[in-house]
Amino acid sequence: MITKLEQLVEKVKLGGKKTLVAAYANDSHTIGAVSMAIDRGLVNGILVGDEATIKAVCAAEKIDAGKFRIVQETDEAKAAGKAVEIVRNGEADVLMKGLVSTDKYMRAILNKETGLLPPKATLSHVCVLEIPSYHKLLTLSDIAVIPAPDLAQKVTLTNNVISVARLLDIDNPKVAVIAATEQMLPGMQACVDAAIIAKMADRGQIRNALVDGPLAIDVALDKESVEIKKLKSAVAGDADCLVFPSIEAANVFFKAATKLAKAELAGIVVGAKAPCVLTSRGDTALTKLYSIALGSLMVKATSRKV
């Protein structure tokens, strides 16, 4: 079982080098991350952006610009579209967000005619956190794509976190469907949805995981809280995955973990025809490297029929 994000890098090396294209790669963090990924044998790199800016950043960061294929495009929206086109044409396996804003990046992916959205697919963001105070990696969704998931979308989120957790060599991940309480309160929709998803897993409609809910975040992650509340659950206190009831809940947890608990992370959008790395423009090069590794690891599990 992979317990550290650094182990992602080593596992990807065993699967062979992939090709990554970064959309509007005009910033030092993106260029630095792709450079590190190339140096560590994970990917070949294509940078779409302003060539003069990219070469200036490379010079300032003492990075050899010759290690990249650079595709000229000065407009950020057009750069995102061109990067998506490169993936659609089979020239790259993984898409990555550079300095382009998230809305323009997602718009290029979701374009019905030229994007990477399969018919009837639901995209979601999946994040893997390495929190120093927790005993293993945590896979969670959705912090960035679906604002208020309905029951069907929560089922998709659940299946997506299971798929990513299994890539981390967790054969039967423990999934906590989060609500404000572990009590089954019919008047709270998050509790109702969580209970339905847990029962679906019991009946084999969601497979390859142990799923329980509703679970409050304390009993999902803390064994002492489970003991104090005398809760009986195969998931509580030892969750591998968290499915949140809303983007607000997930995003607050994620930012608290990274800013206050010093968590490191990898983040990608799943459900498209290729893995799509989605991190903040302000995230570190190391975060982006780990996200590249996670995206590369997902290539085999992702249909690339375009």
**Do 105 and 131 belong together in one domain?**
no
The parent domain of residue 55 ranges over 5-120+271-301
Number of domains, the chain = 2
CA distance 16 to 164: 19
Could you give the 3-state DSSP secondary structure of residue 96?
strand
Q: How many other C-beta atoms lie within 10 A of the C-beta of residue 188?
A: 16
* 265 in a structural domain: no
**Do 248 and 207 belong together in one domain?**
yes
**Do 146 and 35 belong together in one domain?**
no
Whether residue 74 has pLDDT greater than 60: yes
* 306 in a structural domain: no
* 264 in a structural domain: no
Residue with the two structure tokens 């996670």: 294
**Do 193 and 241 belong together in one domain?**
yes
Residue among 199, 128, 133, 131 nearest 170 (CA): 128
**Do 152 and 239 belong together in one domain?**
yes
| DSSP element (H, E) containing 235 | none
* 183 in a structural domain: yes
What is the distance in angstroms between the CA of the first residue and the CA of the last residue of the chain?
Answer: 32
Which CATH number goes with the domain that contains 161? 3.40.718.10
**Do 246 and 229 belong together in one domain?**
yes
Task: For residue range 271-303, list pLDDT tens digits in order.
Answer: 999 999 988 766 777 888 999 999 999 986 664
Which CATH number goes with the domain that contains 58? 3.40.50.10950
**Do 220 and 285 belong together in one domain?**
no
**Do 253 and 280 belong together in one domain?**
no
**Do 63 and 13 belong together in one domain?**
yes
DSSP assigned state of 143 = S
* 277 in a structural domain: yes
* 31 in a structural domain: yes
Whether residue 304 has pLDDT greater than 50: no
What is the per-residue pLDDT for 303? Answer: 44
Band (pLDDT 50/70/90 cuts) for residue 120 is: confident
